């Protein structure tokens, strides 16, 4: 509860000047959660873009994520930026500093507002009891400042200035970022934005001087030179590292950012990037491209992928490599277009009719998104199968800083052979993998066929050959399993409780497990969800109790594990409201299960 109209958020690390003020601190922490909320069109994205960069440049570790409605104007959206002296890479419910652009915005995040939340905004607009009697607004006349500068269009830049000021990023550094961000705008617009930014910054300095809001977190100068990327960029970088030189797709949230990334860099990396008439065309182009020697991928979401399914089967029959980036959002059908879910694991696993092998990778950390996407191209080429990168809206849209991504260990492994006159595309081999030739490279002919075919690739209805061909295609699974990416164990190997997760929940669960601070609880994260690593069941059997955490309603991965190992997972923490788990949520739910057992 607040007192006397003065609201003080003091956040600090023990090494900072803020330590002096311990007595006055409402909360003492070394990471601050900022939320900016408003309508689409009010420029929250711009705030996020500038702040994540400038805060990092000032030496803070940052994590940024957003949730937004499927509309271009209006509605209620919010962006969370965590700022810390330590690495942060997961969303929290807690809001330390909230900047709501209007009453609706405040209402939108009201469930997350506590008496510890510093709400910075326009008193006149917000104080009229949006949340009941308890809230107190730290007044900054955003609209008035924006009007003075040139119009309410500049409101978001003022807000950016306030945050930058509170975190003392330095006016010079801040001004550089503002100029850089608006560099394509007309001079007048740049000037107005610089003004708006400066006035916001100065307003924050006053809050700081008066002790209304004081932020004191250690900066680490090394952080300033780290990289800052989001999931979409990580997948894009990984694709290029894996030799991707062809991408065909039809735009669909939340997968489009990868198509955009590869298109923007297409000239530099000699990538053919084509927006197709539909997803069916995209997938067929990708298969044509692999056939002729390119390394192709498609990027799509559930609904678009549903259209590609027939061609996933074609890849299975042709034994064509293909990389499919499937960024999940809640379905079925159009579902929640801008939200997140882990609901398409089964779709990927069972897509395409008939029986054929595939690999499904599911990165959680951004480093893994780079490395696994790169690896997907080599795996697809090696086994001549579809390889999925299963991400989601949350991963696509989340940023954090990291020292770098490991490109040293990436390599493009070439599996294409030069053909001779006797070449047979589907020569029967022990491993099931036939050397893959391409047309125009060598003296042989390359025939691939969606019908059941003979070794030469021509139609057959020889039923004995049919059995041999099925066996050949499925034989690859043996080596694929041997080669599977091992799950990552976080915490002690001597655990009682094992929390299991996959894909984008990696950092959330990891941080939650850290917060639980119990040596008997460990976390097992799967970056490859199919085929399962052979050690999987041993990890599970070592636990007294296994707890699955996943972002869907039916616990698809728990079911997959049971089906493939016989191991039943009873405790399942699921979420399917379109939002990622928060750290607090995982802590509370895991704690409840763990405490019951003790």
Is residue 60 part of the contact set for other proteins (CB under 8 A)? no
When binding is defined by CB under 8 A, the residue of 88, 106, 162, 289 that contacts other proteins is 289
Residue 521 contacts residue 491 (beta carbons within 8 Å) = yes
Q: Which run of H or of E encompasses 416?
A: strand 416-419
Q: Out of 16, 276, 346, 496, name the contact with other proteins by CB under 8 A.
A: 276
Which C-beta is closer to other proteins: that of 129 or that of 225?
A: 225
CA 30 from centre of chain: 24
Task: Return the number of the residue (184 or 517) whose C-beta is nearest other proteins.
Answer: 184
Tell me the C-alpha distance between 542 and 189, whole Å.
62
| Degrees, nearest 5: CA angle 570-572-399 | 150
360 forms part of the interface with other proteins (CB under 8 A): no
Query: 44-57 and 171-181 are packed helices; what angle lies between their axes, rounded to 10 degrees?
Result: 140
Among 147, 265, 515, 564, binds other proteins (CB under 8 A): 265
Candidates 49-57, 250-258, 519-527, 590-598; binding stretch for other proteins (CB under 8 A): 49-57
Question: What does the DSSP assignment read for 470-532?
Answer: HHHHHHHHHHHHHTPPPPEEES-SS-SEEEEEEGGGHHHHHHHHHHHT-TTEEEEEESEEESP
Alpha-carbon gap, residue 432 to 422, rounded angstroms: 19
N-to-C CA span, the chain: 35
Closest CA to 254 of 324, 298, 302: 302
Stretch that binds other proteins, among 118-126, 205-213, 288-296, 551-559 (CB under 8 A): 288-296
Shortest separation between residue 40's beta carbon and other proteins, angstroms: 26
Tell me if 288 contacts other proteins by CB under 8 A: yes
Find the binder of other proteins among 137, 237, 359, 379 (CB under 8 A).
Answer: 237
Name the one range near other proteins by CB under 8 A: 124-132, 181-189, 270-278, 468-476: 270-278
Pair 524, 545: CB distance under 8 Å: no
C-beta of residue 36 within 8 angstroms of C-beta of residue 44: yes
Nearest distance, CB of residue 512 and other proteins, angstroms: 28
Minimum Å distance from CB 66 to other proteins?
Answer: 18
Among the listed ranges 98-106, 140-148, 291-299, 381-389, the one in contact with other proteins (CB under 8 A) is: 291-299
CB 240 to other proteins: min, Å: 5
Rounded to the nearest whole angstrom, what is the least distance from the CB of residue 336 to other proteins in the complex? 27
Which ranges of 169-245 would DSSP assign to H, the alpha helix? Answer: 171-181, 187-209, 231-241
Interaction between residue 249 and other proteins (CB under 8 A): no
Q: Closest by alpha carbon to 17, among 229, 214, 224?
A: 214
Q: Which residue's CB is nearer to other proteins, number 141 or number 439?
A: 439
Does the footprint of other proteins cover residue 227 (CB under 8 A)?
yes
Helix axes 155-166, 44-57, angle to 10 degrees: 30
Binding to other proteins (CB under 8 A) within 311-340 occurs at 311, 314, 318
As a whole number of Å, the CA-based R_g of the chain is 26
According to CB under 8 A, which residues from 115 to 144 bind other proteins?
none
User: Which residue in the set 95, 99, 271, 543 belongs to the binding site for other proteins (CB under 8 A)?
Assistant: 271
Residues in contact with other proteins, shown as a per-residue x/- string from 187 to 226 under the rule CB under 8 A: -------------------------------------xxx
Residues within window 431-450 making contact with other proteins, judged by CB under 8 A: 438-450
Among 293, 303, 331, 435, binds other proteins (CB under 8 A): 293
| x-or-dash string of contact with other proteins, 401-420, rule CB under 8 A | ---xx-x--x-x---x----
Cα separation, 209 vs 162, whole angstroms: 13
By CB under 8 A, is residue 281 in contact with other proteins? yes
Measured CA to CA in angstroms, residue 325 lies from 179, 232, 396, 477 at distances of 35, 10, 11, 21
For residue 500, the minimal CB distance to other proteins (Å) is: 32
Nearest distance, CB of residue 395 and other proteins, angstroms = 17
């Amino acid at each position: 509860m607040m007192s006397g109209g003065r609201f003080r958020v003091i956040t600090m690390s023990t090494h900072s000047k803020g330590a002096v003020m311990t007595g006055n601190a409402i909360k003492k922490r070394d990471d601050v959660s900022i939320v900016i909320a408003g309508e689409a069109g009010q420029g929250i994205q711009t705030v996020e873009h500038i702040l994540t960069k400038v805060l990092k440049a000032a030496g803070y570790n940052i994590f940024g994520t957003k949730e937004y409605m499927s509309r271009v104007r209006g509605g209620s959206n919010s962006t969370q930026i965590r700022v810390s002296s330590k690495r942060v890479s997961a969303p929290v419910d807690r809001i330390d500093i909230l900047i709501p652009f209007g009453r609706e915005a405040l209402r939108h995040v009201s469930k997350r507002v506590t008496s510890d939340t510093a709400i910075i905004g326009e008193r006149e607009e917000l104080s009229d009891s949006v949340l009941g009697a308890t809230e107190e607004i730290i007044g900054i006349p955003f609209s008035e400042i924006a009007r003075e500068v040139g119009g309410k269009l500049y409101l978001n830049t003022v807000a950016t200035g306030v945050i930058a000021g509170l975190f003392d990023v330095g006016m010079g550094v801040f001004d550089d970022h503002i100029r850089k961000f608006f560099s394509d705008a007309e001079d007048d617009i740049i000037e107005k934005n610089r003004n708006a930014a400066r006035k916001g910054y100065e307003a924050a300095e006053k809050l700081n001087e008066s002790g209304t809001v004081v932020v004191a977190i250690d900066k680490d100068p090394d952080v300033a030179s780290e990289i800052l990327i989001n999931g979409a960029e990580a997948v894009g970088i990984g694709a290029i590292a894996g030799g991707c030189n062809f991408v065909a797709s039809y735009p669909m949230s939340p997968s489009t950012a990868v198509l955009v990334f590869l298109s923007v860099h297409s000239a530099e990396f000699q990538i053919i990037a084509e927006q197709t008439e539909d997803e069916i065309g995209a997938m067929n182009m990708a298969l044509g491209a692999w056939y002729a020697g390119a390394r192709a991928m498609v990027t799509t979401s559930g609904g678009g992928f549903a259209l590609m399914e027939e061609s996933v089967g074609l890849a299975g029959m042709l034994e064509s490599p293909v990389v499919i980036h499937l960024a999940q959002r809640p379905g079925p059908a159009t579902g929640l277009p801008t939200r997140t879910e882990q609901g398409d694991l089964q779709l990927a696993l069972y897509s395409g009719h008939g029986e054929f092998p595939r690999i499904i990778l599911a990165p959680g950390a951004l480093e893994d998104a780079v490395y696994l996407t790169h690896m997907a191209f080599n795996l697809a080429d090696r086994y001549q199968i579809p390889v999925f990168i299963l991400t989601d809206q949350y991963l696509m849209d989340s940023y954090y800083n990291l020292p770098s991504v490991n490109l040293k260990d990436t390599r493009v492994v070439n599996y294409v052979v030069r053909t001779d006159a006797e070449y047979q595309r589907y020569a029967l081999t022990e491993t099931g993998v036939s050397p893959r030739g391409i047309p125009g490279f060598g003296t042989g002919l390359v025939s691939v066929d969606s019908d059941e075919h003979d070794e030469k690739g021509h139609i057959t209805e020889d039923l004995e050959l049919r059995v041999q061909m099925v066996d050949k295609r499925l034989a690859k699974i043996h080596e694929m399993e041997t080669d599977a990416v091992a799950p990552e164990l976080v915490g002690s190997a001597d655990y009682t409780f094992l929390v299991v997760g996959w894909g984008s929940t990696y950092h959330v669960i990891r941080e939650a497990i850290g917060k639980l601070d119990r040596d008997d609880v460990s976390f097992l994260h799967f970056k490859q969800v199919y085929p399962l690593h052979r050690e999987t069941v041993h990890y599970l059997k070592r636990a007294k109790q296994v707890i699955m955490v996943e972002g869907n309603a039916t616990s698809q991965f728990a079911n997959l594990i049971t089906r493939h190992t016989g191991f039943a997972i009873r405790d399942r923490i699921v979420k399917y409201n379109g939002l990622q788990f928060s750290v607090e949520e995982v802590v509370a739910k895991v704690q409840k299960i763990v405490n019951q057992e003790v």
